[in-house]
Structure formats: structure tokens, C-alpha cells
Amino acid sequence: MQFTDILLLVVVIVAIVVFVLYMLNRWAYKKMDSQSSMIEKTKTTQQVYVIDKRRDKITNVNMPKMVIDQIPKWSKFMKMNFVQVKVGPQILTLIADKRVFDAMPLKKTVKVEIAGLYIVNIVGMKSAEEMKAIAKAKKEKAKEDKKKK
């Protein structure tokens, strides 16, 4: 085999790998889009009291057996964000989005959007960037008030 034959073979293999990855990406985006539209249709706003939050495997968390059976096998070994909340008289363990999990305060009542066992969003709570912008605006206003005096 000559150098050009090897180079041509490598280029063909790389092209096939890129094509397969492209098709998998398109399939994943279609699936994600359909799931997000389903979540948007079924989400409801509820007031919950956050008891505990942790990252753990689904097998180590108090989830219904039916839910554990429906989750894919590869997903059972992944760590997920779980939040233990009190909704009315019930204490539930819910799965949270990463940004929601990071922003959710402990031992507080929060208004959230829930779709099934999935916490989609926190309603009426400011993000970290918004809080920084508010603090910056307050400091600037205090400086202006000092200059006026």
C-alpha cells in the first residue's frame, strides 16, 4: 500500500464517522424537541416546600418502582439532581433541571413548574445575574445620593 492509499482510507473513515455523528445529532435534537414540547403542554405551577436536594443515582433515591422500571438501563448509573419536596400533605422526590437545582433554596417555600416528576422552572425567583445587577444598581444609586449631599 502506498501513502496515498492509506490517506484516502483515513479520509473515507473520518467522513463516515462525521456523517454518523451528524445523523445521531439530528435524531437527538428531534427527540429533545418533541420531549420539550410535551413538557410545555403538561407543566403545572405548584407551591412546594423544599426539604432536601442532592445528586444521586436513581436506584439510591426513594422513587416509585414503576418509575425506576421505565427509566433506561444506562440512565440508572448516572447521577441526577433530586429534590425532596412537600406538595400539600405529600412528600415527593422530584427530578430537577440543573439550573433549577442550583437556584433552589433549602427549607423554603418556592413556586415551581412541574411536569410529572420533573421540575422545569422556578417561578418568580431571580437568577444570580439578575441579583448581581440589582445589587450593582443599588450601589450606584447610593454613590449618587452621597454625591448629591
Asked whether the beta carbons of 53 and 119 are under 8 A apart, the reply is no
Sign of dihedral through CA atoms 107, 112, 115, 116? Answer: positive
Q: Are residues 14 and 86 in the same domain?
A: no
Q: Is the pLDDT of residue 127 over 80?
A: no
Domain that holds residue 30: 1-41
DSSP 3-state of 141: helix
Position with higher pLDDT, 71 vs 130: 71
Whether this prediction's pTM lies above 0.85 is answered by no
Confidence label for 50 from pLDDT (cuts 50, 70 and 90): very high
- Model pLDDT for residues 67-101, shown as the tens digit of each residue: 888 888 888 888 999 999 999 899 999 999 888 88
Q: Are residues 58 and 100 in the same domain?
A: yes
- Domain assignment present for 57: yes
Which is nearest to 119 in space by CA: 131, 133, 103, 132? 103
What is the domain-level CATH number for residue 49? 2.40.50.660
Other Cβ atoms less than 10 A from the Cβ of 53: the count is: 18
